Amino acid sequence: MSQVNFRIDDITNKFLEFMADMEKKTKSAISKEIFQDGLKTKMMPYLANLYKEGKISIKNISYITGIHHTEIYHLLPDLIDDIDIDDSIIAYSREIGKKLSPYLQELQKKGVSFDKGIIIGKK
């Protein structure tokens, strides 16, 4: 694992301390979450383009970003103008997402982390 260091202004630092206190986490953990969320947002257009060109799969995008594949199906149409995804796949993914959401939220309340995605099957 690598480490990244960068400077932030005093106001941002105070806000990170506030968030860390509110969420009962370290400032480092909060900073990492924010950085990773921002990185996913910046990466998705590039990954969507690679997907459109047939150079990467949905499964690979999910692995790289930690975003569940149903959410990726939901994001792609906004990132690619002429994407060729069957509307039934998008509708099915949204329906599955709606059904899973309450269960996943309950698991998160119990402390289960989905930082590395959801793994189904033997490992």
pLDDT for residue 95 is more than 70? yes
Long-range contacts formed by 117-121: CB under 8 A, 24+ apart? 117/62, 117/63, 117/66, 117/67, 117/68, 118/68
pLDDT in tens, 63-82: 888 888 888 888 887 888 76
Domain ranges of the chain: 10-109
pLDDT on residue 71:
84
Contact yes or no for 93/73 (Cβ under 8 A): yes
pLDDT on residue 55:
94
pLDDT in tens, 6-60: 899 999 999 999 999 999 999 999 999 999 888 888 899 999 999 988 999 999 9
Contact yes or no for 58/48 (Cβ under 8 A): no
